[in-house]
Amino acid sequence: MKKVLEGSMAISDSIRMTEPKVISAYPITPQTHIVEHLSQMVADGDLKAEYVMVESEHSAASVVLGASACGVRTYTATAAQGLLYMEEVIYNIAGMRLPVVLTVANRAVSAPISIWNDMQDSMALRDSGAIQLVAENNQEAYDMHIQAYKIAENPEVMLPVMVCVDGFVLTHTFEVVETIDHIEKVREYLPPLNMKYTLDINNPFSFGTVGEPSVYLETRFRLSNAINNSKSIIVDAANDYKEMFGKYEGALIDTYKMDDADTVIVAMGSVLGTIKDVVDELREAGKKIGVLKIRAFRPFPADEIVNALKNIKNAIVIEKAVSLGKGGILSCEIRDALYQRRINSVNVNGYVMGLGGRDITPKNIYDLIIKAEKEEDVDGEFFGLNNELLNKVF
Amino acid sequence: MLTNILTKEDTHKQLFTMGHTGCSGCAQSMAVKLIMQVLGKNTIATSATGCLEVFSTKFPESSWNIPWIHSLFENSAAIASGIEAALQITGKKDGTTVLSQAGDGGTADIGLQALSGMFERGHDVLYICYDNGAYMNTGYQRSGLTPYDSFTTTSPSGKISFGNNRPKKYMPEIAMAHKIPYTAVASAGYPIDLQKKVKKTLSIKGPKYLQVDVPCVPGWKYEPRYSVKIAQLAVQSGLYPLFEAEYGKITSVKKISKRVPVEEYLKLQGRFKHLFKNEAGKAEIEKIQKIADENIEQYGLL
Ligand SMILES: Cc1ncc(C[n+]2csc(CCOP(=O)(O)OP(=O)(O)O)c2C)c(N)n1
Ligand code: SF4
Ligand SMILES: [Mg+2]
């Protein structure tokens, strides 16, 4: 059914369709609407779940960890400081191979305190072992959460999946979203969680035991393999979803107008919408330009990205995050993927934009394209700065 | 109730079994064994990071014959909350005890927020704090439950210091302030009293807090054979009052049967030996005696 839904409503509605048994979250802008909607669903009996109102994000993540270890489907959501506060637990959930799904309503991190959107929060957890999927619009946010459980709960994966959704830009914006009418269809796509090891009084196991130097390396190797091997399962989840619900927004990556392109803009999340509008106009003007969307940031789809970029001249990477003391994150990883495969014909330029909710306008993107095509090997340069302000801030 | 003599076979059948790597004389491991004998096999346990977790679950071995989970240092109560929620929604809670465990550091310091949240939300969880008065697992550093004037590696005694210069945090009172159905303080020195209190928790729904005094051989610096004796002296001197409370009100106290001066308790332990060096130390012992006297008065221990 087509409905006009706020991003947060779309997300909470898709979570309702996945029937989690335990939900726990702590409010933080711009995640709040998601958990408020879910609380209401529980209060109305539309979702039969325990909603545990905790005193912190650390406990929210811990509650879903404990519940997940009992073998039930769980959900949490957070953003920014809340995600950083959860970080310790997220690493733990991944290490314990528990299929928790969490939404990150992407938001800038303090200081200065900012409630507005960028991706510095989820980027900080990129090495945690959690799978990271990034949604472009509300429809994709809806579909992606259902796919997230399918991926997380695959016996070969058994990892937390973080669905990254741009704060405000998506969470607080109304768009037309086509929702699934029958929960039975979702149940068919997503069978009940069936975990091999759970906290069960009839079959006792010890979870989270001490890993001495003699075993730690191997457990991390297994974890590393699990997330690397999840690529094919992410692809399957997207394809199966397409077959069952007729929606496909890409799997690990997606390409847009890339045939014959010599310049490609690479990005993640909602900024892709603006980028695609600009590319449409440039295409009409005869420019050979396309867009590469990164849908799964972890596991990093290096082969797929290289395959998509290997014959183009300029890759312009736009990122709403920065590795302070280093530079671009996505651009650096793309360059590394190309280098590993000995491809040096692609000029990769990475730009940091839109931090802390700064609007990325079509004009910014035009200007950037003109500039970037003349530059080489830019590594996370800040673009769109207001120079007048620079001597007023510390 | 109390199993006095165990054959090797019995020991293997225990829910918390032998073979762990705890120090000989570790009162924490004694307490766990006694507690598990009462709670029985329909128990799911969590442990915070700390001595117990480390010495009982060296992969691929585990001393736990019940489902057990360790996650982090500060989240034992939150993990237990999640387990309880999962059991409730799946209809498996009846007949299953959720046990949440942590040391004094994991309880009164870094885990206090998660614990307070668990109390306030009213989860049906038994929380047990094994109080050995310091961060033992990391090498005997000071915690909020380290007693006054105790030497620890971060509150050492020195030329101008008598060690930890703050009294112990009143953790049971903090639990009681949540008006939870049951709070109790027990000691590894009094196993029957400990088991009686554990048994009582089985009949009470909602959050329960039990704090157990568990002497630590290397942390307190005494000979392993003194673990029980020292725990008893803590009670008999008035330094570790044992009591029960319901909904924030004290309902019973364990009376001191043979009162001893605090000196008797202190002198057996290396962590207090700096108090026995000079006149200034004597004055400190008097201050500790005052703490005991005040406890005796406050809890009506005589
Ligand atoms: C967040 C975090 N900070 C610090 C530590 C290090 N650490 C592990 S156990 C421990 C002390 C445990 O003390 P306590 O809770 O009293 O238990 P005990 O070992 O004394 O039984 C510390 C400081 C940790 N594991 N995690
Ligand atoms: S250090 Fe103390 S608490 Fe830890 S195992 Fe040894 S005696 Fe027990
Ligand atoms: Mg301790």
Residue pLDDT, tens place only, B129-149: 999 999 999 999 999 999 999
pLDDT over 70 (residue A21) = yes
Q: Which residue is associated with the tokens 């005494």?
A: B222
Categorize the per-residue pLDDT at B18 as very low, low, confident or very high, splitting at 50, 70 and 90. confident
Is A62 close to B58, i.e. CB distance below 8 A? no
Is B46 close to A66, i.e. CB distance below 8 A? yes
What is d(CA B294, CA B279) in angstroms, rounded to the nearest whole number? 23
Token pair recorded at residue A278: 């600009």
Average pLDDT over residues B187-195: 98
* Centre of ligand 2 from the C-alpha of residue B29, in Å: 8
Phi–psi pair at A53, nearest 5 degrees = -85, 100
**Are the C-beta atoms of residues A7 and A172 closer than 8 Å to each other?**
yes
pLDDT over 80 (residue B2) = no
Please give all residues whose beta carbon lies within 6 A of any atom in ligand 2, as ranges. B 22-23, 26, 28, 51, 55, 132, 136, 216-219
At residue A190, the pLDDT reads: 98
For the domain that residue A355 is a member of, what is the CATH number? 3.40.50.920
Is B62 close to A209, i.e. CB distance below 8 A? yes
Q: What integer best gives the mean pLDDT of chain B? A: 96
The residues with which B210 forms a beta bridge, in sequence order, are: B128, B184
CA distances to A111, A116, A235, A366, A392 from A386, rounded to whole Å, are 19, 18, 41, 17, 11
**Are the C-beta atoms of residues A319 and A325 closer than 8 Å to each other?**
no
* Centre of ligand 2 from the C-alpha of residue B109, in Å: 19
Same domain, A217 and A350: no
- Which residues have CB under 8 Å from A387's CB, separation 6+? none
The residues with which B58 forms a beta bridge, in sequence order, are: A210
| Torsion sign over Cα A47, A48, A52, A57 | negative
Instruction: Report pLDDT digits (tens) over A228-280.
Output: 999 999 999 999 999 999 999 999 999 999 999 999 999 999 999 999 999 99
Same domain, A179 and A321: no
Q: Is B240 on the interface with A (CB under 8 A)?
A: no
**Are the C-beta atoms of residues A274 and A362 closer than 8 Å to each other?**
yes
Is B66 close to A204, i.e. CB distance below 8 A? yes
Find, among A17, A9, A13, A60, the residue nearest to A33 by Cα. Answer: A9
Token pair recorded at residue A73: 């489907």
Average pLDDT over residues A349-369: 97
Which residue numbers of A have CB closer than 8 Å to B's CBs? 21-22, 24, 48-50, 52-56, 58-59, 62-72, 74, 88-89, 92, 96, 198-201, 203-212, 215
B3 within some domain: no
Same domain, A140 and A274: no
Min Cα–Cα distance to chain A from B26, Å: 19
Same domain, A236 and A273: no
| Amino acid (one-letter) located at B2 | L
Q: What integer best gives the mean pLDDT of chain A? A: 97
Flag the least confident range among A51-65, A380-394, B28-42, B68-82: A380-394
Average pLDDT over residues B33-40: 96
Min Cα–Cα distance to chain B from A277, Å: 45
Question: Which atom of ligand 2 is the closest one to the Cα of B217?
Answer: 7
Residue-number span of the structural domain to which A282 is assigned? 253-390
Token pair recorded at residue B268: 């057996």
Average pLDDT over residues A133-148: 98
Min Cα–Cα distance to chain A from B97, Å: 10
Q: Is B62 on the interface with A (CB under 8 A)?
A: yes
Same domain, A226 and A331: no
pLDDT over 70 (residue A215) = yes
Is A52 close to B79, i.e. CB distance below 8 A? no
Same domain, A236 and A274: no
Question: Helix, strand, or coil here: A97?
Answer: coil
Residue nearest atom 25 of ligand 1, based on CA coordinates: B73
Strands (DSSP E) contained in chain A are 2-6, 22-25, 50-53, 74-78, 101-106, 131-134, 161-166, 174-178, 206-207, 253-256, 263-267, 289-294, 296-298, 314-319, 347-352, 379-382
Average pLDDT over residues B29-46: 97
Please tell me the total count of domains within chain B. 1
- By Cβ distance, the residue of A59, A69, A200 closest to B114 is A59
At residue A393, the pLDDT reads: 84
* Centre of ligand 1 from the C-alpha of residue B106, in Å: 6
CA distances to A100, A270, A350, A366 from A363, rounded to whole Å, are 40, 16, 18, 5
pTM of the predicted model as reported, rounded to 2 decimal places: 0.97
Instruction: Report pLDDT digits (tens) over B113-122.
Output: 999 999 999 9
Q: Is B39 on the interface with A (CB under 8 A)?
A: no
Instruction: Report pLDDT digits (tens) over A284-329.
Output: 999 999 999 999 999 999 999 999 999 999 999 999 999 999 999 9
B256 within some domain: yes
Residues of B in contact with A22 (CB under 8 A): 82, 85-86, 89
**Are the C-beta atoms of residues A331 and A280 closer than 8 Å to each other?**
no
Q: What's the angle, vertex CA B126, arms to CA A193 and CA B299, rounded to 5?
A: 165
* Centre of ligand 3 from the C-alpha of residue B28, in Å: 9
In chain A, the largest separation of any two C-alpha atoms, in whole Å, equals 69
Is A62 close to B71, i.e. CB distance below 8 A? yes
pLDDT over 80 (residue A84) = yes
Instruction: Report pLDDT digits (tens) over A111-130.
Output: 999 999 999 999 999 999 99
Would you give the distance in Å from CA A192 to the centre of its chain?
24
Phi–psi pair at A255, nearest 5 degrees = -115, 150
At residue B286, the pLDDT reads: 98
Which class for A114: exposed (0-12), middle (13-18), buried (19 or more C-beta within 10 A)? middle
DSSP string covering chain B: -------HHHHHHSSB-S---PPTT-HHHHHHHHHHHHH-SSEEEEE-SSHHHHHH-BTT--SBSS-EEE--SS-HHHHHHHHHHHHHHTT--TT-EEEEEEEHIIIIITTHHHHHHHHHHT---EEEEEE-SSBTTTTSB--TTPPTT---SSS-EETTEES--SPPP-HHHHHHTTT-SEEEEEETT-HHHHHHHHHHHTT--S-EEEEEE---HHHHT--GGGHHHHHHHHHHTTSS--EEEETTEEEEEPPPSS---HHHHHTT-GGGGGGGSSHHHHHHHHHHHHHHHHHHHHHT--
Same domain, A233 and A263: no
pLDDT over 60 (residue B279) = yes
Q: Where are the alpha helices (DSSP H) in A45-181?
A: 57-69, 80-95, 120-123, 138-152
What is d(CA A188, CA B196) in angstroms, rounded to the nearest whole number? 51
- By Cβ distance, the residue of A50, A58, A88 closest to B85 is A50
pLDDT over 60 (residue B1) = no
Q: Which residue is associated with the tokens 């406890």?
A: B295
Instruction: Report pLDDT digits (tens) over B194-208.
Output: 999 999 999 999 999
Is A204 close to B88, i.e. CB distance below 8 A? no
Query: If you measure CA to CA, which chain A residue comes closest to B40?
Result: A201
For the domain that residue A57 is a member of, what is the CATH number? 3.40.50.970
Is A204 close to B60, i.e. CB distance below 8 A? no
- By Cβ distance, the residue of B67, B89, B113 closest to A55 is B113
B103 within some domain: yes
Token pair recorded at residue B76: 């034992």
Min Cα–Cα distance to chain A from B80, Å: 6
Of A202, A217, A245, which marks where a domain is finished? A245
Same domain, A227 and A313: no
Question: Helix, strand, or coil here: A277?
Answer: helix
- By Cβ distance, the residue of A50, A64, A200 closest to B88 is A50
Q: Residue B137: nearest ligand to its CA?
A: 1
For the domain that residue B292 is a member of, what is the CATH number? 3.40.50.970
Same domain, A76 and A164: yes
- By Cβ distance, the residue of B64, B67, B78 closest to A62 is B78
Of A219, A245, A271, which marks where a domain is finished? A245
Query: If you measure CA to CA, which chain B residue comes closest to A55?
Result: B117
Q: Is B97 on the interface with A (CB under 8 A)?
A: no
Categorize the per-residue pLDDT at B11 as very low, low, confident or very high, splitting at 50, 70 and 90. low
Same domain, A232 and A103: yes
Residue nearest atom 17 of ligand 1, based on CA coordinates: B103
**Are the C-beta atoms of residues A68 and A126 closer than 8 Å to each other?**
no
pLDDT over 80 (residue B6) = no
Question: Which atom of ligand 1 is the closest one to the Cα of B49?
Answer: 9
Min Cα–Cα distance to chain A from B132, Å: 21
DSSP summary character for residue A199: -
* Centre of ligand 2 from the C-alpha of residue B105, in Å: 14
- Which residues have CB under 8 Å from A152's CB, separation 6+? A99, A100, A101, A131, A158, A159, A160, A161
Phi–psi pair at A155, nearest 5 degrees = -55, -25
**Are the C-beta atoms of residues A37 and A171 closer than 8 Å to each other?**
no
Q: What's the angle, vertex CA A117, arms to CA A111 and CA A121, rounded to 5?
A: 60
Q: Are strands B97-103 and B43-47 parallel, antiparallel or unpaired?
A: parallel
Complex confidence, ipTM: 0.96
Query: If you measure CA to CA, which chain A residue comes closest to B80?
Result: A66
Same domain, A320 and A241: no
Categorize the per-residue pLDDT at A394 as very low, low, confident or very high, splitting at 50, 70 and 90. confident
* Centre of ligand 1 from the C-alpha of residue A238, in Å: 43
B260 within some domain: yes
Instruction: Report pLDDT digits (tens) over B243-272.
Output: 999 999 999 999 999 999 999 999 999 999
Phi–psi pair at B162, nearest 5 degrees = -100, 20
At residue A392, the pLDDT reads: 87
Phi–psi pair at B158, nearest 5 degrees = -160, -170
What is d(CA A140, CA A121) in angstroms, rounded to the nearest whole number? 20
Residue-number span of the structural domain to which B200 is assigned? 9-299
Min Cα–Cα distance to chain B from A206, Å: 5
Please tell me the total count of domains within chain A. 2
pLDDT over 90 (residue B183) = yes
Instruction: Report pLDDT digits (tens) over A179-198.
Output: 999 999 999 999 999 999 99
Residue nearest atom 1 of ligand 2, based on CA coordinates: B136
B26 within some domain: yes
What is d(CA A209, CA A213) in angstroms, rounded to the nearest whole number? 13
Find, among A22, A34, A35, the residue nearest to A62 by Cα. Answer: A22
Query: If you measure CA to CA, which chain B residue comes closest to A216?
Result: B59
At residue B19, the pLDDT reads: 87
Average pLDDT over residues A6-16: 98
Same domain, A189 and A143: yes
What is d(CA A12, CA A42) in angstroms, rounded to the nearest whole number? 11
Phi–psi pair at B134, nearest 5 degrees = 180, 170
| Torsion sign over Cα B114, B117, B121, B127 | positive
Average pLDDT over residues B102-122: 98
Mutate to test the interface with A, among B58, B59, B73 (most CBs of A within 10 A): B59
Mutate to test the interface with A, among B39, B43, B69 (most CBs of A within 10 A): B69
